[in-house]
Structure 1
Amino acid sequence: MEKKFKAIKRIIGIIMTILIMSSIFACLGSTSQARNRIDTSKKGTLRLSYKCDITEDNVSNPMPISGVNVHLYRIASVNEAGAFAWESPYADIAEVSAISVNKISSADEWNILLGPIKTYIYTNSISADANGISDSDGTAVISGLDLGVYLVVGDTLEDKSQNCTYTFTPFFTTIPTIDPETDTWVYDNGDEYIVDVSAKCEYYLNPKEVQYNIYKNWVDNGSERPESIEVGIYLDGDLYQTVTLSASNNWHYFWTYKEGHSFTISETVPAGYTVSYSQNGNVFTMTNTGNDTPPTTPSEPENPKTPDNPVEEVLGAVRLAITEDDTPDVLGATRLPQTGQIWWPVFALALIGIGFFTVGFISDKKSA
């Protein structure tokens, strides 16, 4: 009976070792596959689809939008290993340089960068790296692109015959992109990497006039505060007007314009201050912080109370916030491909399993 038990134990050890080694080879295979090299000598092609869901008789139908002018701005490069790096001049933007492009893992982080990058482009009259226009099928094909990360901007389109305005959400995409099923870079087996993206469209039938507001906040001791500041207002990327904010108008300005258009603001930053921008709907807020403003000392936190009904699925809410957004799903689950994973725990477990099997085998042999 004892010999039979030892034989069974030995068989179980062999099976476990085989399973562990199989897992190692499977992991190595997937890692090798995920790290296929990018051929940086190749170019890329971006195929953009511009369609709007038009509702008629309670039925939604995608309608191709022709004549959309599209502009591409290459904000980051990529190397053969799949690592990205910010490109000049965008690397000089404070909000951009503060974060590594390879560590961005959510749509919210990309959205934070969208405003500063667009503002920089408009205020400095940065030319697009490539341009295109959608055809009768609503498709814009732009080829010969250097690989990397691109900001894609589609101009607002007004159809005066139908009194309708079409707007398109700007977004970021990578060329090449990763196939979520194979975890490899998408390649067309030809001369270029090809990426297909559908832009998000909204339309306004008989657009009405809406109000826009700018508010200025100061975080300083007031001693070096200027009497006024100049703010440029950009309409769909072009300078619309320049306004002056001061104490006489309570550092506030408002205007009205037809809905369906994109406004961006940019302040002439006074010496000794830094500026940050935020937007909530049609309300823009600029906050100027004095460089000599002492940091606020955080108060001592209170002892947290245990909630009566704690929420169990916390990560579920976070996942929803990341995945259910307006950004086209072209950057993968983490919006940018990750360039490697850590596999040393697998090897450690394998060695432990082999060690246990070897000790057991020797022990059984001595007992025999």
Structure 2
Amino acid sequence: MEKKYKVIKRMISLIMTMFIITVIFAARTSVLEARNRIDTSKKGTLRLSYSCDITEDNINNPTPVTGVTIHLYRVTSVNEGGEFAWLSPYTDISEISSVEVNSISDADTWNSLVTPVKTYIYSNGISDDATGSSDSDGIATISNLDLGIYLVVTDTLVDDSNNCTYTFTPFFTSIPTIDPETDTWVYDNGQEYVVDVTAKCEYYLNPVSVDYDIYKNWVDYDSERPSSIEVKIYLDGSLYNTVTLSSSNSWHYSWSYEEGHSWTISETVPSGYSVSYSQSGNVFTLTNTGTENPPEYQQPPTTPTTPENPVQQVLGAVRLAITEDDTPEVLGATRLPQTGQIWWPVFVLALIGIGFFVAGFLSDRKKA
């Protein structure tokens, strides 16, 4: 009878522990739904600020850049729970299809996706989802946007009056965004989700002609390579030239052009290969990798992981990709999405429940 009593006591302790943990996580889910639920019937507005310090006198008073043209490409959707999903046709990009968007937790990954997405857009003639231009204050306001993550691409601006060329770094940004101070989605009079971002600007006064180079690398485990590769060169998003790389030119091409412009390189990928693009200064490298594994090689199995709080990590990484540091704000703009929930009560209460179970077990052992 006493042994039966001990078993019942242990079972009750275990049930109580599981009950406490269940209640904690149920409460956390309710808080997340209450705070982070997105109204997907609403639209978004993106306000972009463009300015540059073009003279020493303007270091603390940047000059607004007027007449900048902006293109927006929506690459993900977002649901009411704040989870993202890649959109077609971008799922055709190997770098995109191989990455679970809700697992991205660092700015480097977001930055690494800019080039393949831009390359795919230009080489396939993908139309932008929205466009806008900056006003006399250097502000571009683009409204009535579907919610999700956008690639923001800004055209190079040539100001002949000042003999100055402006370029702007492309980046990803999310609509909507959360203000971490209030843990609420940012609205404008409750009608639209609003995101404010400051674009990173570079300028070239009296630009000069500089040299550019393309190099081809092969990683193909001694496979039979194609005799040549066709490469398209895009200048500020428009096709500039089509060249052929082969052993006769040592898989290399060079050209000269005025500095301060945006270049994108795209090759016609041969069968049996994948391609990756990299850039260091004015040097572009195309690496073709054979899709067949080398002899006696087996790809180790991989287990995809999803962070416990994908909204916080994904959008925190988006913020870092824009600011290039871990500052909590986007250079005078409203902060990008953060969900930062308080987790310490979960572990404390869970330990209390486990403590009850352990105490009961030790008590039974002493009595025995």
Q: Structure 2 length as normaliser, TM-score?
A: 0.76
Q: 1:19 aligns to what?
A: none
Q: 1:114 aligns to what?
A: 114
In the alignment, the residues of structure 2 paired with residue 121 and residue 327 of structure 1 have an alpha-carbon distance, to the nearest angstrom, of 29
Secondary structure of 2:53's partner? strand
User: Are the aligned partners of 1:71 and 1:154 in contact in 2 as well (CA < 8 Å)?
Assistant: yes
Secondary structure of 1:132's partner? strand
> Which string of whole-angstrom CA distances, capped at 9 and with x for unpartnered residues, describes residues 239-261 of structure 1?
11000101011000111111111
Q: 1:140 aligns to what?
A: 140
Q: CA shift at 1:182, angstroms?
A: 2.5
User: Are the aligned partners of 1:173 and 1:330 in contact in 2 as well (CA < 8 Å)?
Assistant: no
Secondary structure of 2:55's partner? strand
Cα pair distance change 1:258/1:295, threshold 3 Å: farther
Q: 2:16 aligns to what?
A: none
Matching residue's letter, 1:128: D
Q: CA shift at 1:55, angstroms?
A: 2.7
1:61 equivalent in alignment to 2:45: no
Q: 1:266 aligns to what?
A: 266
User: Are the aligned partners of 1:91 and 1:97 in contact in 2 as well (CA < 8 Å)?
Assistant: yes
Q: 2:210 aligns to what?
A: 210
Q: 1:195 aligns to what?
A: 195
Q: Which sections of structure 2, spanning at least 5 residues, go unmatched?
A: 1-23, 299-319, 362-368
User: Are the aligned partners of 2:110 and 2:321 in contact in 1 as well (CA < 8 Å)?
Assistant: no
> Which string of whole-angstrom CA distances, capped at 9 and with x for unpartnered residues, describes residues 296-333 of structure 1?
979xxxxxxxxxxxxxxxxxxxxxx989727995599x
Q: Which sections of structure 1, spanning at least 5 residues, go unmatched?
A: 1-23, 299-320, 360-368
Q: Which segment drifts farther, 136-145 or 31-40?
A: 31-40
Matching residue's letter, 2:353: L
> Which string of whole-angstrom CA distances, capped at 9 and with x for unpartnered residues, describes residues 105-144 of structure 1?
1110101101100000010110000000111011111110
Q: 2:286 aligns to what?
A: 286
Which residue, out of 348, 351, 354, partners 2:353?
351
Cα pair distance change 1:79/1:59, threshold 3 Å: closer
Secondary structure of 2:137's partner? coil
Larger Rg: 1
Secondary structure of 2:128's partner? coil
Q: 1:78 aligns to what?
A: 78
Secondary structure of 2:351's partner? helix
Q: CA shift at 1:95, angstroms?
A: 0.3
Aligned length: 313
Cα pair distance change 1:227/1:38, threshold 3 Å: same
Matching residue's letter, 2:112: I
Q: Structure 1 length as normaliser, TM-score?
A: 0.76
Cα pair distance change 1:56/1:323, threshold 3 Å: closer
> Which string of whole-angstrom CA distances, capped at 9 and with x for unpartnered residues, describes residues 191-244 of structure 1?
111111111111110011111111111122555211111100011111110001
Q: CA shift at 1:30, angstroms?
A: 10
Cα pair distance change 1:217/1:327, threshold 3 Å: farther
> Which string of whole-angstrom CA distances, capped at 9 and with x for unpartnered residues, describes residues 17-52 of structure 1?
xxxxxxx79x95994487431000000011111111
In the alignment, the residues of structure 2 paired with residue 271 and residue 357 of structure 1 have an alpha-carbon distance, to the nearest angstrom, of 65
> Which string of whole-angstrom CA distances, capped at 9 and with x for unpartnered residues, describes residues 81-116 of structure 1?
000000111112110111111111111010110110
> Which string of whole-angstrom CA distances, capped at 9 and with x for unpartnered residues, describes residues 243-294 of structure 1?
0101011000111111111101000111221111111111111111223351
Matching residue's letter, 1:36: N
Cα pair distance change 1:118/1:50, threshold 3 Å: same
User: Are the aligned partners of 1:219 and 1:287 in contact in 2 as well (CA < 8 Å)?
Assistant: yes
